[in-house]
Amino acid sequence: MSIPVERYVDPASLEEELQRIFGRCCFVAHESDVPEPDDYFSFRLGRHSLTLRRFDDGFSLFDNICRHRFNLIDPPGFGKRPFRCTYHGWTYDKAGHVAFIPLREQFFTDPEPLRTHPHQTISGFVFATTETVRRDLAIKNMLDQVGLPEGPSFNQGSLLHRCNWKLMVENVLEGYHLSVVHPNTFGKSGFTTMSRSEAMEGETDTLLITYPHDKFSAQLVSVFPNVVPSYRHLYVFPNLFVSVTNDLVYFVSNVFPISADETVLHYRLFGTKRLGELGLSMQNHLKAEALKFTMATLNEDKEILERCQLGMLGAAGEYILGTQEQRIRQFHNAYLRWL
């Protein structure tokens, strides 16, 4: 059974998802996104504005709404600044209490502290989560299968998609579209619809390893003898994606639903240990090529997904899924269980 088509276009469905799915577990950021005190990452999740802040002793996740006149305390995106509202200068401490109010004597009540949200860091990945240890161990186990990035990201950004978040998840869970949508990106790298792959499945999370065609593998190994030609792709329910391409480039992305038909994708590119073993000029070349490849593939997918959203408006019934789309079935099953 697939997800009912109405749930891709209905605002009420998104509100339910935010409460029952994203309110239960949601990947927020990698710890390297906010490496030093006063670094922050401010983002939207549906109607809710949140900010992840680094302090001397760790992270805190707050509602990003000033108690005074409801301005966003931290501007959207990544940055470094005091925890101070940009409107009237109300300043907050690491517990979310108002620590300073200009002309304090004009205010006759003590403001409530900002609402905080529980979170956990698992292998450098920061999750807003109320999940049990069992879920945390499952996530760590999956992350161990793909390895961890080396050092800070060398590029990061965000991209607004005018489509439902579930379409974005489904798109990256299958390789069936590679030859049609990505002939000039994945196709030229030896990864096609016909590529051999193997899967590892958890209760809600899946890892797929895809191998390029033999001639591409041979060419790659002749230049980089220590790499394993492959594309490892991990999905951690509901909104985290991690991939490693040919043991050289590490990619982390996550989606935040904004509305029933708008989703923001945040992405980061890292090097791997293998990349760090290469000469500096080769590292810089591969990083530049990885960025070009990433932007090309993201925009290729974006165009298709926005068309799918338009198709959903007039669709009825359920998906017709093939054997290459088993990961979508597993996503649907996890989604329906969590609801």
Query: Is residue 248 within 8 Å of residue 227, measured between CB atoms?
Result: yes
- Provide the terminal-to-terminal Cα distance of the chain, rounded to the nearest Å: 14
Query: Is residue 289 within 8 Å of residue 296, measured between CB atoms?
Result: no
Predicted confidence (pLDDT) per residue in 69-86, tens digit: 999 999 999 999 999 999
> Of all residues in the chain, what percent are helix, strand and coil, respectively (each to 5)?
35, 30, 35
Q: For the beta carbon of residue 310, count every other beta carbon within 10 angstroms.
A: 12
Q: Which domains are present in the chain?
A: 25-121 (2.102.10.10), 151-338 (3.90.380.10)
Residue 132: predicted pLDDT: 61
Pairing of strands 240-245, 77-80: unpaired
Pairing of strands 206-210, 58-63: unpaired
Pairing of strands 119-122, 91-92: unpaired
Residues β-bridged to residue 252? 242, 268
Peptide bond into 37 cis (omega under 30): no
Residue 242: predicted pLDDT: 98
Long-range contacts of 137-145 (CB under 8 A, 24+ apart): 138/202, 138/203, 138/204, 138/205, 139/205, 139/236, 141/202, 142/200, 142/202, 142/205, 142/207, 142/234, 142/236, 143/234, 143/236, 143/242, 145/200, 145/207, 145/232, 145/234
H helix or E strand, kind and range, residue 39: strand 39-45
Query: What are the Cα distances from residue 70, in Å, to 15, 38, 81?
Result: 21, 21, 19
Residue 135: predicted pLDDT: 82
Predicted confidence (pLDDT) per residue in 32-44, tens digit: 999 999 999 999 9
Half-sphere exposure of 9 (CA within 13 A, CB side): 13
Residue 133: predicted pLDDT: 55
Residue 90: predicted pLDDT: 97
DSSP state at residue 116: B
Predicted confidence (pLDDT) per residue in 113-160, tens digit: 999 999 999 999 999 988 765 688 889 999 999 999 999 999 999 999
pLDDT in tens, the chain (339 residues): 689 999 999 999 999 999 999 999 999 999 999 999 999 999 999 999 999 999 999 999 999 999 999 999 999 999 999 999 999 999 999 999 999 999 998 988 889 999 999 999 999 999 998 876 568 888 999 999 999 999 999 999 999 999 999 999 999 999 999 999 999 999 999 999 999 999 998 889 999 999 999 898 999 999 999 899 999 999 999 999 999 999 999 999 999 999 999 999 999 999 999 999 999 999 999 999 999 999 999 999 999 999 999 999 999 888 999 988 999 999 999 999 999
Q: What's the Rg (C-alpha) of the chain?
A: 21
Q: Is 89 left (phi over 0), alpha (psi -120 to 50) or beta?
A: left
